Amino acid sequence: MHLFTLIFLVAVALSLGLRLWLANRQIGHVQQHRAQVPADFADSIPLTAHQRAADYTISRVRFSRLEMGFEALILLGWTLGGGLDFIDRLWQATGWPPLLAGTATVLSVIVIGGLLDQPFALWRTFVVEARYGFNRTRPATYLGDLFKQGLLLLILGLPLLVLILWLMARMGAAWWLYVWVVWTGFSLFMAWAFPRFIAPLFNRFEPLPDGALRERVEALLARAGFRSKGIYVMDGSKRSGHGNAYFTGLGRNKRIVFFDTLIDKLSPEEIEAVLAHELGHYRHRHVQKAMWLMSALSLAGLALLAWLMGQNWFYAGLGVSIPSTHMALLLFLIALPSFTFPLTPLFAWRSRKQEFEADAFAHLQTGGAAPLVHALVKLYRDNASTLTPDPLHSAYYDSHPPASIRVEHLHRLDTAGTT
């Protein structure tokens, strides 16, 4: 057995084993605490809602275990099973120029991978989410989304792929710098274009109506010094019963978006607190920091790929017989997650730290913890978010602090403000 093949198998096994162990911990911990609402929430969340959230969490995690096993099998099938090599040989046999054949190979793998994922996506949407009353996606909407995603892949993704493969083949040893510039520019363009041109393809966005809520929101924006291209309500109920709010876009193209489900569930004061939290991310420049981090990581990743592309063991160890730029790119994207999975908790920790910062900003803007705490409790209840996640599972994955820790942090801010 090739040495790198062994290293790859060990990485896949360790990654899968760790993920399954964490999933089992989450299931066990949530089940253990299903019978009683945590004391901090006993007055605001009934036992039936707590148990519904526990059951929903357990169902999702159990289903995710099946996905993990399937993903590992598909990964091994693409690499050591010869799947990538087989597709590559089919396109090479056409006699097409290397750029065209390479593009067809990569696109084929993307399409086949998407099709293989569909049974899980369908079950997740129409069984798991529907069982707990969250799914509102009609089959026609689901198929329409797939069609639009396919069009975007052809219109935006295909030209980008061709350009990247061309740069990899033509720009010599420094190709990765050119690709990094192109990828960074594309990412910035997508961040700018998403709210105005892409998101409206999937959802309807209407201006927030005049009234008490809009007045509150505009007053908050003025205090925070936030300028946007508008405040919109999105028909999130078209697909899901979950509620949320976010701001999106870059520069003058920023938009504030509320899900209609959020508007229906929270009071104006609570919605103001949720928005203040989102503005906290803006005030602390979390989005910009994330883009800088991703840009640095992509630069490092491309430099690593440039080195791996010249190593025959990289191809042979992952089941590819004919080295090429497009196969190097595919192998790198497919195999990398098995080696970088141990870094997941670092990103989760960074995200939770930023959530605390955004909460502190909201606390300052809304005059105390109560509005945001009330909003969070309603969202935890209505979104069936478990109040009792396993501490290790949460530390490894969760981008937001657990409910009890987050509420406690907000109350501590109240206490600090009165001393």
Q: Active-site residue 359, yes or no?
A: yes
User: Could you give the 3-state DSSP secondary structure of residue 256?
Assistant: strand
Residues 282/45, Cβ–Cβ less than 8 Å: no
Round to whole Å and give the CA distance between 200 and 136: 18
Full pLDDT tens readout for the chain, 419 residues: 689 999 999 999 999 999 999 999 999 999 999 999 998 898 899 999 999 999 999 999 999 999 999 999 999 999 999 999 999 999 999 999 999 999 999 999 999 999 999 999 999 999 999 999 999 999 999 999 999 999 999 999 999 999 999 999 999 999 999 999 999 999 999 988 888 889 999 999 998 888 888 888 888 888 877 777 778 899 988 888 887 777 777 766 778 888 888 888 888 899 999 989 988 988 898 988 999 999 999 999 999 999 999 999 999 999 999 999 999 999 999 999 999 999 999 999 999 999 999 999 999 888 788 999 999 999 999 999 999 999 999 999 999 999 999 999 999 988 876 54
**Which CA distances in Å does 267 have to 48, 161, 216, 229, 261?**
23, 46, 11, 24, 12
Q: Let me know the angle formed at the C-alpha of 221 by 217 and 227, rounded to the nearest 5 degrees.
A: 125
Tell me what pLDDT residue 417 has: 61
- Which residues neighbour 83 within 8 Å (Cβ) at sequence distance 6 or greater? 77
Residues 369/410, Cβ–Cβ less than 8 Å: yes
DSSP secondary structure string for all residues of 194-206: IIIIIGGGTS-EE
Please report the domains of the chain, with CATH numbers, ordered by start residue. Answer: 3-172+309-342 (no CATH), 201-287+347-417 (3.30.2010.10)
Residues 351/284, Cβ–Cβ less than 8 Å: no
Residues belonging to the binding site are: 277, 281, 355
**Of the residues 88, 278, 382, 390, which is catalytic?**
278
Q: What are the tokens at 250? A: 């870059």
- Helix spans in 309-369 (H): 312-316, 325-340, 344-366
Residues belonging to the binding site for Zn(2+) are: 277, 281, 355
Tell me what pLDDT residue 2 has: 84
Long-range contacts of 163-171 (CB under 8 A, 24+ apart): 164/329, 165/99, 165/102, 165/103, 165/106, 165/325, 165/326, 165/329, 166/99, 168/309, 168/325, 168/326, 168/328, 168/329, 169/98, 169/99, 169/325
Tell me what pLDDT residue 1 has: 64
Tell me what pLDDT residue 419 has: 45
Closest CA to 238 of 206, 212, 269, 267: 206
Q: Is the dihedral of CA 318, 323, 328, 330 positive or negative?
A: negative
Closest CA to 102 of 23, 35, 158, 48: 158
Q: Active-site residue 414, yes or no?
A: no
